[in-house]
Amino acid sequence: MNCPPAEKALLILRSAFPEASSTALTSLTIGQRDLCLLKLRDLTFGPRLTGVAVCPECNERVELDFDSRDIADANVRLPDFQSAEKTNNEFVLNLLGWELRLRLPTNADLISLSPDSNLAQMKLLEACLLDARQEGKPVQPADLPQEIISAIADRMMQEDPYLNISLALKCPACGQEWQMIFDIVSYFSNEINNWAARIMREVHHLASAYSWREEDILSMSARRRQRYLEMIGVT
């Protein structure tokens, strides 16, 4: 899947939920989308996740080994695709002297963004900020002070709990503690790509050894394919 992350996410969701319309899938908030991907990943590869992070203090490689249930409760409900495209996900944020009306960002918003990160952040803010007033006077997104933008981000994460999935990490070498964003889109899509490449290699080995057709090899269970691979010396 050689495309931007938001489009990768949409491709995976379309394959997993063929009954859902494209509008419903793109209307999912980022947190809803990532929750769906996390649950799909559980069903596909299991709840255990591994990886490597780099300590920001000493550059030590830190091995990750965690369970998806540490991120999302096993009983958490997936969004209703039938109503997703009809939900506006709007909320009001009142701060001292400020009244802001916003909506949560969706996968459609991310698909439309520019590759330039600075422009993308402003475009996303413009899309999600429906109205902003300071002491009753309208304010444009570009004129919002940084502390207001930070407050908006904090409130969005409260409204959409899986908007930014973070892992609390600690370096075993220097003791540094930090938070790392867990990108389920990249993680899951990389796993799918690796799985597809492995299956193609297995088909190649078995077809070469036994002259079997691809569809016959793919119809076998993974365990049975593995037994045949072991018999021809492939591990």
Distance CA 170, CA 107 (A): 31
Residues 139/41, Cβ–Cβ less than 8 Å: no
Give me the pLDDT at residue 173, please: 94
Give me the pLDDT at residue 84, please: 62
* CA count, 13 A, side-chain hemisphere, 72: 28
**162-202 pLDDT, tens digit each:** 999 999 999 999 999 999 999 999 999 999 999 999 999 99
Q: For each successive 10 residues of the chain (235 residues), what is the average pLDDT?
A: 88 93 92 95 94 96 93 83 74 96 95 82 94 96 95 96 93 95 95 95 96 95 94 90
Q: Which amino acid is at 48?
A: R
The tokens of 231 are what? 């018999």
Distance CA 166, CA 196 (A): 28
Give 145's contacts (C-beta < 8 A, 6+ positions apart).
none
Distance CA 122, CA 93 (A): 19
Residues 129/148, Cβ–Cβ less than 8 Å: no
Residue spans of the domains in the chain: they are: 1-88+166-182, 90-159, 187-231
pTM attached to this predicted model: 0.88
Give me the pLDDT at residue 1, please: 66
Burial string for 136-152 (b: 16+ CB within 10 Å, else e) reads eeebebeebeeebeebb
**196-209 pLDDT, tens digit each:** 999 999 999 999 99
β pairing state of 98-103 and 137-138: unpaired
